[in-house]
Amino acid sequence: MRVDIISIFPEYFAPLDVSLIGKARRKGLLDIRVHQLRDWTHDVHRTVDDTPYGGGPGMVMKPEPWSEAIDTVIGSAETPPRLIVPTPSGRPFTQEVALEYAKEPWLLFAPARYEGIDARVMAEYGARLRLDEVSIGDYVLAGGEAAVLVMVEAVGRLLPGVLGNAESVADDSFAPGAMASLLEGPVYTKPPVWRGHEVPPILLSGNHAAIARWRRDEALRRTAARRPELVAGLARKGLDKRDLEVLDDASFRFMPEDMAD
């Protein structure tokens, strides 16, 4: 997969040289190219922002550097990239979206600083290619760069050959399918007693069926406590008698609309 990133802070993307994504790049599985937006300005100050029409606080990113940058990166490519603009007003970036992006041959990220990019850039490229304005969560960042790091890691680890067999995509907490929308329960390793805290004895029992059931119980308890909104979705996929007992014991109460069909 090819990934282009246009930003006024190319140095921000140094973490993409490290660990899993760094290795994927060195193996040639990921071709990441980071570009300085200011290279497409023409004034001595390399200006990328200006005051907002209509007034208000902060600054807005000018359309011309963005369009020149995006046009240059796209070049005369027959199949243009998918353009992704991180913004708190975007659609939520989820594991489903990551899986969709992982099928693409080419992604172009356009992270903004200040109050965002002049909306006419989105109007122009929304008409010319597939454009997504996406949010990684409901909190305030200083710009879209951190969101790009998050998305490149989430997508990059899904590419064929990037993960080893030991880690694998199949049992991810949010992978649609297998462990669908159940949070992972607690995990333990040696020593069996640490500072007086014991590993739950069932995990040392060698009884694999009992261990699997215990892990599901813990996952259900944790999901009910931390992400109760996910439990309704679980109910639709089918919960067995033991699941319902565990949820009841965790004081989880279904709403009438959860019981439909």
Cα 50 from chain centroid (whole Å): 30
CB of 59 to ligand JBK, least distance (A): 14
The pair of structure tokens assigned to 252 is: 């989880």
Per CB under 6 A, residues contacting ligand JBK are 86-88, 135-137, 139-141, 143-144, 147
- Catalytic site residue from 82, 157, 216, 227: 157
Active-site residue, from 46, 88, 104, 132: 88
Angle between helices 228-237 and 208-226 (to 10 degrees): 130
The least CB distance from residue 4 to ligand JBK, in Å, is 18
Q: How far is the CB of 228 from ligand JBK (least distance, A)?
A: 23
| Residue number with CB closer to ligand JBK (76 or 89) | 89
Residues 6+ apart with CB under 8 A from 185: 215, 217, 218, 219, 221, 222
Instruction: Judge contact between 8 and 14, C-beta under 8 A.
Output: no
- Of 4, 49, 145, 172, which one is the catalytic site residue? 172
Q: Respond yes or no: is residue 88 known to be catalytic.
A: yes
Is 172 a catalytic site residue? Answer: yes
CA 22/CA 49 separation, integer angstroms: 32
Catalytic residue at 120? no
Judge contact between 159 and 102, C-beta under 8 A.
Answer: yes
136 or 246: CB nearest ligand JBK: 136
Catalytic residues: 88, 115, 157, 172
